[in-house]
Structure 1
Amino acid sequence: MQFQLNRKVILASAIALASQVSFVQAAGYGINEQSASYLGTGFAGRASNAIDASISSSNPAAISFVEGTQVSVGADVILEGGNFDNGSYASNPSAAKSTDDFQKTAFVPFGYFVMPVDEKWSFGLAGYAPYGIELDYEDDWMGASFGDKTSVQVINLQGTASYKFTDDFSVGFGLIGSHVKGELTSRPFSPASDVKATIEGDDNTVAWNLGALWNVSEQTALGLAYHSKLDFSLKGDFAVGEMPSSPVKLDITMPEKLMLSGTHKLDERWTVMADVTWTRWSRFEEFNVVSSSTGNSVNYVPMNWEDTWALSLGTSYQLNDQWLLRAGYMFDESPVNNENRTVRSPDANRNWFTFGANLKLAENMNVDFAYAYVKLQDGTIEEYKHSNPSSGPSGNPITGTYSSSSHILGAQLNYMF
């Protein structure tokens, strides 16, 4: 079934900036693509290496060490990918047994502003996407009754304050207004049917993040940050074909996460970074869309995700006065495995291989470029249908093999006033 969350304005300018976010390339439904500069190092040092204003999305304390009043704006482009093969579904044996490129090309923009208020306080504003997914299978594929389109999009607007206790230590707090929209569709009768089941809804919530940054020495910095969970209660409509729609609701929680980063300058040219991030994906237990009038499930998919770890290593090399080169690797553990993989979450462990560069255009302006190749491990699926949380699996399962990889391109402009 299709589940669409209609977009609402939290702040017009930030929604315009982030409105085109449509596909997740991090594990689960997470989005890492909030900065081209940190993409270049595989996100290593994203909470400790205060190189530009985009660090505020990871560690609010770090804006105390960003140079001057600064704006960072940019976008990442994630190219299409994703393949399902060797499909088998006894209820629709003649339907297409494979489907390609169900993960569509996506444009993921972001924008940040930071400024010092005085010698102790700094302030920032940010617009970025922390979570989201966009899957759109071919209409005739055999799993269309399990899922045709899956869209969940989250946009964060963040106000940040940081206080520098000493010249080497700061803490920061970010207050976040978060908006979710999404859409679930399916063809409940058969892939050949033109009848679609559609669910729509959206919601807003408030969240926060908290961080600390310690410059242990002139060479070494450590950053620690915590991001709170996002509790959403989506309200929308459910319809099948041309039948009148009925009101429905969905409770969904995007998880809290904790990250620890380190940055160390080896000499005037080489810097190394590392990051470890824990995400509590075990909060994401189900899609359970219920009727607002009866409380009965109208679309139920058990998820049963597990907590995850992401580990990053990266480096940068100052080639000359104009060019800084970057490279990184990240292992991004998935909350999904062969036992709990579904049509709506065809996820797997990811290996990221990233490269980047920073070009100094003027004393107060530079631009970042980044490229990433992301390879997901192949995985299998055996999914049954469920009518509600208390019922067991029913009918015939869909089985098959998922494989996926993606190319990501990023660019970011940093301007200092």
Structure 2
Amino acid sequence: MAFCSRQGAAVLSPLFAAMAFSFHSSTAHSAGYSIHENSASYMGTAFAGKASNPQDASIAANNPAGIAFVEGTQISVGSAVIFEGGEFEGKHTIPVGGNDVIAQGKTKDFQSTTWVPFGHFVIPVNEQLSFGLSGYGPYGIELDYDKNWAGRYFGNKTSVKTINLQGTVSYKFQEDFSVGFGLIGSYVKGELTQKSSAMNLPPNIADINAKVDGDAETLGWTVGALWKVRERTYLGLAYFSQLDFKLKGDVTADGALNIPNPITGKIAQVPVNEKTKGKLDITMPEKAALSLTHNLNDQWALMAEATWTRWSRFEEFYVRADDPNLSSYVPIKWKDVWAWSFGASWQVMPEWQLRAGYMFDQSPVDDKNRTARTPDADRNWFTLGANWKPDPKFSIDLSYAYVKLKEGKISETKHDIPTNGGAVIPSYGTLTGEYNNSSHIVAAQLNYIF
């Protein structure tokens, strides 16, 4: 294809750079492990209209049909920055002669400052057929608690980073209606760490650092439709398939067991240094979005969006190690959720457009199934944004979001692995406390029409 000679090389170089960097930087500040931040322009309206408003090339990651309505050959690249946040206060107790406290206190900023880059490229072949290429992070989480926090025997670091490379094709059957399909190649890398015990012994006699890491790749797909109902009204529908990952990697444990002598009472340290292979299956769920954009006039536009995500597919963190003593199991049991968003834009003058939005992002987590690795809760998004277009071919989007999570309680226990029945291990104790999380996010995006 001729466009890949000079023009394509110039366009694809920064796009691939953004995609490569996004793997190293993905995190989540959306409900569950979802990442909304694949566009700074849509973040300004709290992602309302992201599947129905073909304002730039980033619609490719939200509705593949939308690229048929994008103006010309276009590239959109940028990044969001999620600033550090998160607060927990609580304690870990074990039933030894009453409720003995292993650790207690407050920890902050376990969600570190993180970059979330993205890149999108769209090229029309003719008036009906268009192609696109996108790189973005659809799911992920990055938690890194203080080394000695109260819940260190339930989780220290939880890192799940995912990148999607999506090729898209869209076809206009009529001037006002298009359909699109995208093939997705997805890669995930995961790492879990925590303090641990061995053979289900109580934590107060263990000083072991456990680590699980691995990676995997899989294929997925997306399909969508965009209908220009009237001259000023667009209706979009998009569906994204589930992503089934089978991670393979290493499980390690090193440290010591502190075994008291029953006669002398002295502590004898028994070294632990184990490494084995293991696997972890993770399913990132399918989701569907219904989106509406209505231009009231040449200055004002309103957007609304509803997104359903089937988080009930995410049932467990079950690390199956070749050595069963190094296997671990955390039941998740999430529920299906909805996100509802509303936004508006105002074309103040030809060079400037202002945006604002609100989203209620329902969480698959509640007080009954919250864990140290999934400290999620229902959240409210409040967003502002602006687009500056100093030239007909060039524009810049800037957006800001304040995300406030509902306060959430935790009462987590340790479970035996399913092959042993999966029952709670009382001697391991209980982590109790409360999360109070919020975050600030900024995003920037450059758009260029060739």
Please indicate the TM-score interval, normalised by the length of the shorter structure: over 0.9
Of residues 277, 302, 314, the one that matches 2:331 is 302
1:13 Cα shift?
4.4
Equivalent in the alignment of 1:393: 424
Aligned pair 1:414/2:414, yes or no?
A: no
Q: Return the alpha-carbon distance in structure 1 between the equivalents of residues 390 and 206 of structure 2.
A: 56
- TM-score, normalization: structure 1? 0.94
Equivalent in the alignment of 2:229: 216
Aligned pair 1:127/2:141, yes or no?
A: no
Q: Return the alpha-carbon distance in structure 2 between the equivalents of residues 414 and 14 of structure 1.
A: 14
C-alpha contact 2:18 2:117 (8 A) present in aligned 1: no
Residue type matched to 2:285 in 1?
A: P
1:297 Cα shift?
7.0
Give the match's secondary structure for 2:67.
Answer: helix
CA displacement, residues 89-116 of structure 1 (integer Å, 9 cap, x when unaligned):
2377252422111111110000000010
Aligned pair 1:239/2:252, yes or no?
A: yes
Larger deviation: 77-86 or 61-70?
77-86
Q: Return the alpha-carbon distance in structure 2 between the equivalents of residues 165 and 192 of structure 1.
A: 68
Larger deviation: 204-213 or 14-23?
14-23
**Gap regions ≥5 residues in structure 2:** 1-14, 198-202, 256-272
Aligned pair 1:168/2:201, yes or no?
A: no
Aligned pair 1:207/2:220, yes or no?
A: yes
Q: Kindly report which structure 2 residues correspond to 1:149-298, keeping only aligned pairs within 5 A, or say none.
A: 149-189=157-197, 195-241=208-254, 243-291=273-321, 293=322, 298=327
Residue type matched to 2:439 in 1?
A: S
C-alpha contact 1:143 1:191 (8 A) present in aligned 2: no
C-alpha contact 1:14 1:157 (8 A) present in aligned 2: no
1:388 Cα shift?
1.1
Residue type matched to 2:449 in 1?
A: M
Q: Return the alpha-carbon distance in structure 2 between the equivalents of residues 192 and 219 of structure 1.
A: 68
1:22 Cα shift?
3.6
Equivalent in the alignment of 1:337: 366
Q: Return the alpha-carbon distance in structure 2 between the equivalents of residues 331 and 297 of structure 1.
A: 40
Residue type matched to 1:339 in 2?
A: K
**Gap regions ≥5 residues in structure 1:** 1-10
Higher helix share: 2
Give the match's secondary structure for 2:220.
Answer: strand
C-alpha contact 2:308 2:338 (8 A) present in aligned 1: yes
CA displacement, residues 128-184 of structure 1 (integer Å, 9 cap, x when unaligned):
000000111111112111101101111000000000000000000000000000100
Q: Kindly report which structure 2 residues correspond to 1:299-378, keeping only aligned pairs within 5 A, or say none.
A: 299-378=328-407
Q: Kindly report which structure 2 residues correspond to 1:65-144, keeping only aligned pairs within 5 A, or say none.
A: 65-90=69-94, 93-144=101-152
C-alpha contact 2:89 2:104 (8 A) present in aligned 1: no
Q: Return the alpha-carbon distance in structure 1 between the equivalents of residues 72 and 210 of structure 2.
A: 52
Equivalent in the alignment of 2:258: none
Of residues 39, 44, 48, the one that matches 1:44 is 48
Larger deviation: 151-160 or 297-306?
297-306
CA displacement, residues 305-325 of structure 1 (integer Å, 9 cap, x when unaligned):
000000000000000011100
Give the match's secondary structure for 2:389.
Answer: strand
Residue type matched to 2:378 in 1?
A: N
Q: Return the alpha-carbon distance in structure 2 between the equivalents of residues 312 and 335 of structure 1.
A: 17
CA displacement, residues 355-412 of structure 1 (integer Å, 9 cap, x when unaligned):
0000002110000000000000001000110121332112221100001000000000
Larger deviation: 345-354 or 133-142?
133-142
Q: Return the alpha-carbon distance in structure 1 between the equivalents of residues 342 and 442 of structure 2.
A: 19
Equivalent in the alignment of 2:261: none
Larger deviation: 382-391 or 153-162?
382-391
Q: How many residue pairs were aligned?
A: 406
**C-alpha RMSD of matched pairs (Å):** 1.7
Larger deviation: 241-250 or 77-86?
241-250
Q: Return the alpha-carbon distance in structure 2 between the equivalents of residues 12 and 322 of structure 1.
A: 29
Equivalent in the alignment of 2:200: none
- TM-score, normalization: structure 2? 0.87
Q: Return the alpha-carbon distance in structure 2 between the equivalents of residues 296 and 63 of structure 1.
A: 51
Aligned pair 1:62/2:66, yes or no?
A: yes
Equivalent in the alignment of 1:8: none
Residue type matched to 1:382 in 2?
A: S
Relative to structure 1, the CA distance from residue 330 to residue 191 in structure 2 (aligned partners, 3 Å threshold; closer, same or farther) is: farther
Equivalent in the alignment of 1:6: none
1:210 Cα shift?
0.2
Equivalent in the alignment of 1:3: none
CA displacement, residues 322-355 of structure 1 (integer Å, 9 cap, x when unaligned):
1100000000000000000001000000000000
Q: Return the alpha-carbon distance in structure 1 between the equivalents of residues 115 and 77 of structure 2.
A: 13
1:294 Cα shift?
6.1
Equivalent in the alignment of 2:8: none
| Structure whose alpha-carbon radius of gyration is higher | 2
Residue type matched to 2:196 in 1?
A: P
Q: Return the alpha-carbon distance in structure 1 between the equivalents of residues 247 and 353 of structure 2.
A: 44
Residue type matched to 1:213 in 2?
A: L
Residue type matched to 2:434 in 1?
A: T
Residue type matched to 2:22 in 1?
A: A
Q: Return the alpha-carbon distance in structure 2 between the equivalents of residues 14 and 112 of structure 1.
A: 9
Q: Return the alpha-carbon distance in structure 2 between the equivalents of residues 193 and 361 of structure 1.
A: 63
C-alpha contact 1:350 1:374 (8 A) present in aligned 2: yes
Q: Return the alpha-carbon distance in structure 1 between the equivalents of residues 292 and 386 of structure 2.
A: 20
Give the match's secondary structure for 1:180.
Answer: strand
Residue type matched to 2:144 in 1?
A: D
Relative to structure 1, the CA distance from residue 298 to residue 405 in structure 2 (aligned partners, 3 Å threshold; closer, same or farther) is: same
C-alpha contact 2:91 2:101 (8 A) present in aligned 1: no
Percent identical pairs in the alignment equals: 56
Q: Return the alpha-carbon distance in structure 1 between the equivalents of residues 396 and 170 of structure 2.
A: 25
Q: Return the alpha-carbon distance in structure 2 between the equivalents of residues 231 and 295 of structure 1.
A: 24
Relative to structure 1, the CA distance from residue 324 to residue 385 in structure 2 (aligned partners, 3 Å threshold; closer, same or farther) is: same
